[in-house]
Amino acid sequence: MYISIYRSIDKDRIMKNYTVKARQRYGSNSIDLTLPASIRKKYSINHGDIFRIKASKKNEKLTLEYKLIYQNIDEDDEEQEE
């Protein structure tokens, strides 16, 4: 049953690999991670949104988990209308 369900589905749509780039923030020791535009649009991520981050390392693999805790709904919608 499991195999037959996934035979007819495009695997690239389910398991698309994305990459992000760490960029240094001028005048700070912080860095920014740049999200792909397609993820930003799909999940309505806007300037000013706030995320809680959880970092964990297992078997030498670092995982960063972001949880949206505040969504700034209006900011980007207004920019696009102008």
Q: Among 44, 51, 53, which residue's Cα sits nearest to residue 73?
A: 44
pLDDT, tens digit only, all 82 positions of the chain: 444 455 555 555 555 788 888 888 888 888 988 888 888 898 999 989 999 999 999 999 999 999 999 999 875 554 555 4
Angle at 52 between CA 33 and CA 65, to 5 degrees: 65
Query: Is 39 within 8 Å of 46 (Cβ atoms)?
Result: no
pLDDT of residue 20: 86
Give the alpha-carbon dihedral of 34, 74, 49, 38, to 10 degrees: -30
pLDDT of residue 4: 47
**Euclidean distance between CA atoms 64 and 57, whole angstroms:** 9
Q: Is the pTM of this model over 0.85?
A: no
